[in-house]
Structure 1
């Protein structure tokens, strides 16, 4: 059932085929997947409490196929909350209004760049256009190219990394993604622990 989502994720539509004909329906959606790290659910980087063998963990995580995961752009490892974090009164998190304003500005920046095209957001831009018309900063793709040579990144994965890198650049107010933005997009694709600093210098600063 999960793998049935692969084609709609790729094309943004669902095709229902029957003997009398076929029906094509729009299906542009945001997919959010969540899973425990192992069967018992207690596996963590601290190595405490988990009773699962490496084979059990591998078999459990293998239930999400490679082709499906290849279509997941952002992967975040969420660590268990500590007692101090749970009882903390003053949260350092930004307010929804602050984040919404930053997202709104980024979307407007992307819409301005894509004016005159059939697309409005980075997610809609075909990979061939990202690789030719809107190329990142010179040399920014070096790390991604090495991962492709090692078989760690597919052609589809590269296109998705480029889209995320453009979004990171738009959020930071950059005219184009550079090495920092590509590294951030790659790190988000690999998966990283919560609390890891990704974006580096303040918006406008150079890496």
Structure 2
């Protein structure tokens, strides 16, 4: 598994970014040439980062930012809707200040997080191995709506967003997969309504950084 990182994502050519849509969806890339076509494996986890505006100063109080609303809109319009629809986590990263650096809030150690992730991966494998799958990320919509279908009371918030056009079918499936991972990290048997809500927030919360 590769983890390409694209810094300053809106500075990339829109066509180049949209060219990643199919590999992100299928895990394969097909090259067409005059002599024929060839398909290669291309499974990767894409990580993007973007400034909050062209000058990068509009976070926080944004007192130093001189970008107009139109400039900000053009900046983020380079990331097309269909492309962003394939980005599961979209997280805003606030500006760090001296208070944050000196807070000593007792964050978890890397070892603690690694143990929880390993346990979540084991739970995924145990649940999905009979289906011929090892990771939540590889779950197709047919299984999410079939064998692993969640009660409507659990998915109600996401279902409403789908009905209102705020979420595509692809987006709904990605929210469900993320909710299963959130549930696994919490050591639960299956996602709860709160896990669906968190997955939706992580999908729609971006302005300053996209992952």
Q: TM-score range by the shorter chain?
A: 0.7 to 0.9
Gaps of 5+ in 1: 195-207
Q: Please list, as runs of the form range in 1=range in 2, the aligned pairs for 1:83-98 lying within 5 A after superposition.
A: 83-86=98-101, 88=102, 90=104, 92-98=106-112
Q: Distance in 1 between matches of 2:48 and 2:178?
A: 18
Aligned-residue CA RMSD (Å) = 1.7
- Structure 1 residue 179 and structure 2 residue 193: aligned? yes
- Structure 1 residue 72 and structure 2 residue 87: aligned? yes
- Structure 1 residue 112 and structure 2 residue 115: aligned? no
- Structure 1 residue 145 and structure 2 residue 153: aligned? no
Instruction: Give the conservation status (yes or no) of the 8 Å contact 1:79–1:193.
Output: no
TM-score of the two chains, using structure 2 as the length reference: 0.86
Gaps of 5+ in 2: 1-15
- Structure 1 residue 23 and structure 2 residue 38: aligned? yes
Q: Could you give the per-residue CA deviations for residues 87-112 of structure 1, whole angstroms, max 9, x where no partner exists?
A: x2846221111111000000100100
The list of structure 1 runs, each at least 4 consecutive aligned residues, that deviate by more than 4 angstroms after superposition, is none
Q: Distance in 2 between matches of 1:2 and 1:65?
A: 9
Instruction: Give the conservation status (yes or no) of the 8 Å contact 2:60–2:95.
Output: no
- Structure 1 residue 167 and structure 2 residue 181: aligned? yes
User: What number of residue pairs does the alignment pair up?
Assistant: 193
Q: Could you give the per-residue CA deviations for residues 97-152 of structure 1, whole angstroms, max 9, x where no partner exists?
A: 11110000001001000122221000011012101210224401111111112211
TM-score of the two chains, using structure 1 as the length reference: 0.88
State the structure with bigger RCO (CA 8 A, min sep 6), 1 or 2.
2
- Structure 1 residue 34 and structure 2 residue 45: aligned? no
Change beyond 3 A, Cα 1:193–1:16: closer
Q: Return the offset for 1:187.
A: 0.5
